[in-house]
Amino acid sequence: MVTQIAAPEPLGTTLLDELRAAVTGAVLDPGDPEWDVARLPWNRLVDQRPLALVVAADAGDVAATVRWAVRNGVTVSAQPNGHGASAALDGTVVVRTAALDDIWVDADARVARVGAGVKWGDLQTALDGTGLTALIGSNPDVTVVGYSLSGGLSWFSRAYGPGAASIRAAEVVDATGALRWVRSDDPADADLLWALRGGGGEFALVTALELELHPAPRIYGGLLGYPAEAAAPVLRAFLEVTRSAPEELTAWFTLMHLPDAPFIPAELRGQSLAVVTATYLGDAEAGERLLAPLRAAGPVLRDTFRAVAPGEVGLLAEEPVDPVPAVLAGTRLHGFDDDAAAELLRVAGAGSGTPLLQVQLRHVGGALARERVPAAAGTADEPYLLTGLTIVPSPDLAPLVSAALDQLFTTFAPWSTGTAPLTFLDRDESIRRAYPAATVDRLRAVKAAVDPAGTFRGNRPVDA
Ligand SMILES: Cc1cc2nc3c(=O)[nH]c(=O)nc-3n(C[C@H](O)[C@H](O)[C@H](O)COP(=O)(O)OP(=O)(O)OC[C@H]3O[C@@H](n4cnc5c(N)ncnc54)[C@H](O)[C@@H]3O)c2cc1C
């Protein structure tokens, strides 16, 4: 479905002048020549129409914007990047946080502090040589703060839980406009910290996060690419490996259909492939042994496995980083048997005609099933997450893509719980598909307590 947006009421000149006088960074409005590009999120499929953009120069600008918004009854949102864009930010003033790019690491204490503009690739690179990792997902261009507030499914979540559960503290601008730290040792902020750990951007504007870091003295990772004809034995080997995998090993099986497009290497254009991508928190020899059934499962066309530094983990999946019109959605599976394997190859394999660029089965579970700290992100014990990701070259094709995702998820209804991590909801979906009713009710109660006037809006509103 293409996002349809009603034109919002513009901000008057007086309000814009007051906002420009309050901040040192730039304020862009629909009258600016660069507006039509600046207003767009990373996901170009979402034609979002905010009232104005504040390109914050520092945390003081974020606080000044919130105070202006409270005075004038305007809604504000943070959008550092927009991988998770939805229609919810229409009619808000959007704060861009790229300039809040400080990274501070205390390896002895296993803690990092990052500003609200820091991208995953940069935090991980700062950890090279420390023997530690943070909980990065598949893409280095996503921001640490946007991802962690939204739950965050990492390469290392099977060992260390969701990204949100590693948030130790948050520097926020709250709904009174105060810039302050929210810490776990302050009982007055216990509910707010719980909500920030996975509930998204509805409760405060976050200017920095303090994160727990995790042991990773050695990391082994990469991908194996096979011809599409080998997909069935490779999927069988993937299931064999993942059924007995230690929590240090995370593997994903992907059916990939590469477009005939200039950004794809000439020899791969228009090709279908089966791909296994994996990381192992350990040395190369042990990782090799665990992956041996996969290497033996078919002719390997491409092999990038190697010992990697933390800063290279975000590159392993070779995902796009430049802004594109994209659709990403997922559903958790409580099991995956031979019938499921046959169905996956039928609806998404070579010859299926699927318009999806990739259909991926991520092995999850492990530490995701255990509560580390009180967090809205909660726990999930399903062993697999099925996702569909594609680039949508023209908005006219969005209905075709939505129909393909519907077909995929309908086919997998017998194995599916119907739930997904918050970061794997499609752009128009409600938080209710990510979290149980009791969690959403508690998030709404926290929102009513900390932001009674509704000054903040995240991409997944708690009242939707
Ligand atoms: C190619 C691709 C791969 C991905 N891989 C993964 C993956 O492996 N694991 C995973 O979990 N997710 C993954 N995602 C999803 C991604 O992590 C989420 O969409 C994430 O929310 C986007 O981060 P962002 O930096 O682009 O945030 P944005 O989309 O800019 O922001 C998302 C939301 O976070 C909140 N927010 C952000 N910053 C602040 C702030 N400073 N204060 C308050 N609220 C804030 C707001 O609600 C905002 O609407 C992937 C997405 C894509 C497109």
CATH 3.40.50.12170 fits 13-96, yes or no: no
Spell out the alpha helix ranges (H) of 187-228.
190-196
Locate the ligand 1 atom nearest the alpha carbon of residue 151 and give its number: 11
Give residue 8's pLDDT band: very low, low, confident or very high (50, 70, 90).
low
Phi and psi at residue 6, in whole multiples of 5°?
A: -80, 145
Nearest to 28 by CA among 3, 67, 55: 55
Residue 27 CA to residue 30 CA, distance in Å, equals 10
The DSSP bridge partners found for residue 387 are: 330, 360
CA of 151 to the centre of ligand 1 (A): 9
pLDDT tens-digit readout, 117-135: 999 999 999 999 999 999 9
Fill in the amino acid letter for 366.
G
Q: Answer for the pair 291, 226: CB distance below 8 angstroms, yes or no.
A: no
Listed by start position, the domains of the chain span 13-96, 103-215+432-450, 219-430
pLDDT in tens, 145-177: 999 999 999 999 999 999 999 999 999 999 999
pLDDT (tens digit, 9 = 90+) per residue, 271-305? 999 999 999 999 999 999 999 999 999 999 999 99
For a mutational test of ligand 1's pocket, the pick from 58, 65, 92, 142, i.e. the residue with the most ligand atoms closer than 8 A to its C-beta, is 142
Is 327:395 a contact under the CB 8 Å cutoff?
Answer: no
Helix residue spans in 23-136 (DSSP H) = 35-38, 59-72, 120-126
**What is the overall mean pLDDT for the chain?**
95
Residue nearest (by alpha carbon) to ligand 1 atom 53 = 83
The predicted pLDDT at position 241 comes to: 98
The pairing of strands 76-78 and 93-96 is parallel
Tell how far the Cα of 198 is from the centroid of ligand 1, in angstroms: 11
Render pLDDT for 352-373 as a digit per residue (tens, 0 to 9): 999 999 999 999 999 999 999 9
The percentage of residues in the chain with a pLDDT greater than 70, rounded to a whole number, is 98
The predicted pLDDT at position 261 comes to 77
* Averaged pLDDT, 429-444: 98
pLDDT tens digits, residue range 234-263?
Answer: 999 999 999 999 999 999 999 999 988 777
Task: Give the pLDDT band of residue 395 (cuts 50, 70, 90).
Answer: confident
Dist. CA 422–CA 430, nearest whole Å: 9
Provide the 3-class DSSP secondary structure of residue 318.
coil
Q: Which atom from ligand 1 is nearest to the alpha carbon of 62?
A: 41
Q: Which residues face 76 on adjacent strands?
A: 93, 456
Q: How far apart are CA 65 and CA 54, in angstroms?
A: 8
Say which CATH class 103-215+432-450 falls into: alpha beta
DSSP 8: P
Give me the pLDDT at residue 2, please: 37
Query: Considering the entire predicted model, what is its pTM?
Result: 0.96
The architecture in CATH of the region 219-430 reads: 3-Layer(aba) Sandwich (3.40)
Reported as a single tens digit per residue, the pLDDT across 17-62 is: 999 999 999 999 999 999 999 999 999 999 999 999 999 999 999 9
3-state secondary structure of 360: strand
CB 325 less than 6 A from any atom of ligand 1: no
Helix extents (H) in 176-259: 190-196, 231-243
Ligand 1 atom closest to the CA of 144, numbered from 1? 25
CA count, 13 A, side-chain hemisphere, 458: 31
